[in-house]
Amino acid sequence: MPAYGPSQPAKNHPPPNPSGVHFLAAAHVADRLVRSAEVTERDLVVDFGAGHGAITAPLARTGAGVIAVERDPEFVRRLGIRMSDSGNVKVIPGDVRTFPLPRKAFLVVSSIPYAVSTALFRRLLTPPRTALSRAAIIVEWGFAKRVTAAVPRDLEAAWWAARFELDLVDRIPPRCFSPAPKVASAHLTIRRGEPLSGLAQRALWTVLSAAYRAPRLPARQAMSAVLAGRRAHGVLKAAGIDPAAPAGTVRPDRWAHLARRLAEDRGLHWPPLPKHLNR
């Protein structure tokens, strides 16, 4: 992971460790992370917060094109030297939160600081036309549990889960990092779900917004205005959704299935997606 503090700590003082900065120190964890992403030599892979290269090195061995992004100038210099014989690796100074994402299909395999997990997930998963194809990422355990919940607790997480498959692969103990964090980490994988057309994504955002605006209402009531006079009970049943279930308890994949069906109905019109989704 990247260091967001000074590269050289003062003597006789503990090294600075801003929130979320813990370096992966277990080679077997890095190797398993890379394998889970099914990286091939045809892939373009981004390692955010490359640090000392714990994940960059095994990625390099796959033959894939690797972009190692690191914020700390000293780590950039050292990693550049370490990877100098790997023609398929580019070490680039940059911040996880602002580094320009590739426009063509890419993977992410990295161990990221806890403090920037939400910001990175927003960059990767929120845009309707994201080029992310899959990822294997190490995040804080609690964060992983939240984003992989069968029923997300908020609209943003539901939007992610309706379009991507997020799976918690394994728990990673603190001893696998240096310095050891106070909490466990998680190995998380992300894969694209069944494709959604542009119109289906507009329908999806509309139904998710309605569901999370009134999560305690029965789904048929929460969707009544969205369906523009159509019999909500029958439409929901056809999509595999219990019309009587509270809207906030419906799984995102069911909402996505409904959105695909609704997008085929030429009598329904869907508002454009909000601009903030493309930021």
Asked if residue 277 has pLDDT above 50, the reply is: yes
Dihedral angle, C-alpha 222, 228, 232, 237, nearest 10 ° = -110
Q: Give percent of the chain above pLDDT 90.
A: 87
Asked if residue 13 has pLDDT above 80, the reply is: no
User: What is the pLDDT, as a whole number, of residue 230?
Assistant: 83
Mention every residue, 6+ apart, whose C-beta is less than 8 A from residue 23: 1, 51, 52, 54, 177, 178, 179
Asked if residue 3 has pLDDT above 70, the reply is: no
User: What is the pLDDT, as a whole number, of residue 7?
Assistant: 33
- Three-state DSSP at 70 gives strand
Asked if residue 259 has pLDDT above 80, the reply is: yes
User: What is the pLDDT, as a whole number, of residue 130?
Assistant: 95
User: What is the pLDDT, as a whole number, of residue 266?
Assistant: 87
Single-letter amino acid code for the residue at 18: P
Residue 269: other Cβ atoms inside 10 A: 10
Q: What DSSP letter does each residue of 45-58 carry, written as one string? A: EEEET-TTSTTHHH
Q: What does R_g of the chain's alpha carbons equal in angstroms?
A: 21
Mention every residue, 6+ apart, whose C-beta is less than 8 A from residue 254: 239, 240, 241
Find how far residue 18's CA is from the centre of its chain: 22
How far apart CA 65 and CA 79 sit, in angstroms, is 16
User: What is the pLDDT, as a whole number, of residue 5?
Assistant: 33
Between 20 and 22, the higher pLDDT residue: 22
Mention every residue, 6+ apart, whose C-beta is less than 8 A from residue 273: 128, 201, 202, 205
User: What is the pLDDT, as a whole number, of residue 228?
Assistant: 78
Residue 122: other Cβ atoms inside 10 A: 16
User: What is the pLDDT, as a whole number, of residue 99?
Assistant: 95
How far apart CA 19 and CA 9 sit, in angstroms, is 16
Give the range among 22-31, 131-140, 176-185, 270-279 with minimum mean pLDDT.
270-279
pLDDT, the chain, mean: 91
User: Residue 98: left if φ>0, alpha if ψ -120 to 50, beta else—which one?
Assistant: alpha
How far apart CA 128 and CA 24 sit, in angstroms, is 32
Section 248-259 average pLDDT? 97
Tell me the C-alpha to C-alpha distance, in Å, between residue 166 and each of 52, 107, 134, 143, 184.
27, 14, 10, 12, 18
Burial 30-42 (b: 16+ CB within 10 A, else e): bebbbebbebeee
Render pLDDT for 136-153 as a digit per residue (tens, 0 to 9): 999 999 999 999 999 999
Asked if residue 10 has pLDDT above 80, the reply is: no
